[in-house]
Amino acid sequence: TSPPPASNAGNGQAGLALYVYEYLLHIGAQKSAQTFLSEIRWEKNITLGEPPGFLHSWWCVFWDLYCAAPDRREACEHSSEAKAFQDY
Amino acid sequence: TSPPPASNAGNGQAGLALYVYEYLLHIGAQKSAQTFLSEIRWEKNITLGEPPGFLHSWWCVFWDLYCAAPDRREACEHSSEAKAFQDY
Amino acid sequence: LSEYAPPPNPNSDHLVAANPFDDNYNTISY
């Protein structure tokens, strides 16, 4: 029987765990990634996304927007796109 | 959950590592959390936020809004607040 | 594990860490 169709984790908490696992592997923390899977008792085979993975990419967007906020932009580095988005 | 002052996490990537460490501890994956600190050679001592921690809280907000998007809300659970936010 | 931990058995044995904004991403609701 062919394995069930590969699926994403589908819901919130499982999704976050999946992307944290992917993040750990992409930054080279292999032991942490394996320890994490065993501590949450996930005996799954997992297909990763492209490096650096969704959590890292999403965080970069979030952090850029966070730093571009009017009351923070003087203190933090941010992109002009994020500044434009905030001003818009 | 208001995000902590940007200075805490210094820059984006250190911030993400900090909140992933906090997430691992708050979900109970202690061994993964300790392994992670040693694999990224993090020597600074860390003060944790309140459970479930920043990453988990903001992921919940993100996922709720993601699921409440007009072209996804039929397939995914979402809160009425997130639906109202998207419709607004 | 604490109350915040993910469910131990996501609904399939093969998980794909796909970008949720990809077109072919299918969110399986529990």
Tell which of A35, A55, A71 to mutate to test the B interface (max B CBs under 10 Å).
A35
Is B52 an 8 Å CB contact of chain A?
no
The answer to which of A6-10, B45-49, B65-69, B78-82 has the lowest mean pLDDT is A6-10
Residues B16, A59 contacting (CB under 8 angstroms): yes
pLDDT of residue B76: 84
**ipTM, two decimals:** 0.86
* pLDDT tens-place string over residues A52-71: 999 999 999 999 999 999 99
**Interface of chain C toward chain B, CB-CB under 8 angstroms:** 1-2, 4-6, 20, 26-27, 29-30
Query: What is the percent of chain B with per-residue pLDDT over 90, rounded to a whole number?
Result: 64
Q: Would the CB atoms of B3 and A67 count as touching at under 8 Å?
A: no
Average pLDDT value over all residues in chain A: 87
Residue with tokens 């996490």: B9
Q: Which phi and psi (to 5°) does residue C5 adopt?
A: -70, 155
Residue of A16, A30, A67 lying closest to B6 (CB–CB):
A67
Shortest alpha-carbon distance between residue B54 and chain C (Å)? 12
